Structure 1
């Protein structure tokens, strides 16, 4: 820089140079006015680095946890599917073994069961169930003075007409005898009937003989002969006045 002295002359000022007292350079350079390093505290920077590292560690742990959960879920699903498939394979075998353990019914027992099934359907008015125990060419002989009923269709019409007049039907079977000879069997039994017919309480007893045939491994009735037992008249009381008759009972149906 140039400066003016007292005489008005301009003199140049020299910038100090890095020389020692003997005119030799001492190797030191003056520090600049501004520092070249950051003025931010070092503790704050370290905390940020710690938080970043911790956040990254937690994220990694969560990812690993989710992967483990997914792996366990897949293993559980695979195990359940394997057990279900194993159960499907073992079920037919178990059902086959259980069917082998069942004791087959004899022909006499099958006929007795068919009679119980037939009488139960007859009481309930279940014509579809009743149909399973009668053959298409069945012959029905009742206790009245009438020609036999031939064929299931004709018998069904008569049965439905009679059943519509009955309520509170009860039919008990006793003293059953069953005989089987090859594919043919017959049975006879006594029956006790009670119902409300046309609004009046009616009771009757009788006997039935049926002939059955084994068709398609199933016993069906081919002949049903039902007879009505005669009623025993009540004895006249000894002290009853002459000419007075006891009350008459309703005629059997």
Structure 2
């Protein structure tokens, strides 16, 4: 009986531990969405790994580094009108380990003159006890 109880407890703890990271990862995108929608690109970038090895792929460009990615965002989205309102939809989060996940989803901007949208694939990793996006492949 005691052994069965320990097995059940271990299974419960394992399930709880694996469910939490997906919530933490979804929270990153929620915080990014909120920062974008208030016009705070510096806040938006807090979801990314602040490192020169962070990768951002969009269109035909591959960017390396947090600072380069922030500079590109500020150049391409210079004001609130171009930022519009962002909405992320997560379609799937696949845990690769206790420290890494792949997130697949859709993004949409709503602006006065258009509604661009597309898809993204993110590699999210737990580094220094914090979940961050280390690789972002976004397309129209």
TM-score (norm 2): 0.75
Structure 1 match to 2:110: 194
Query: Post-superposition shift, 1:130?
Result: 2.3
Residue segments in structure 1 that go unaligned for 5+ positions in a row: 1-102, 229-253
When residues 175 and 151 of structure 1 are mapped into structure 2, their CA distance, relative to the original with a 3 A threshold, is: closer
CA–CA distance in structure 2, aligned partners of residues 157 and 134 of structure 1: 14
Shift, 1:123, TM fit: 2.9
Q: State the distance in 1 between where 2:33 and 2:127 align.
A: 20
How far apart, CA to CA, are the structure 1 residues paired with 2:119 and 2:133?
16
Distance 1:157 1:175 in 2: 26
Root mean square deviation, CA, Å: 2.1
Shift of 1:166: 4.5
- Give the 4+ runs in structure 1 shifted more than 3 A: none
Shift of 1:165: 4.6
Q: Deviations over 1:41-77 (max 9, x none)?
A: xxxxxxxxxxxxxxxxxxxxxxxxxxxxxxxxxxxxx
For residue 131 of structure 2, the aligned residue among 219, 224, 228 is 219
Residues 56-95 of structure 1 correspond to what in structure 2 (within 5 A)?
A: none
Partner-residue secondary structure (3-state), 1:203: coil
- Structure 2 stretches lacking a partner, 5+ long: 1-15
Which structure: greater strand fraction?
2
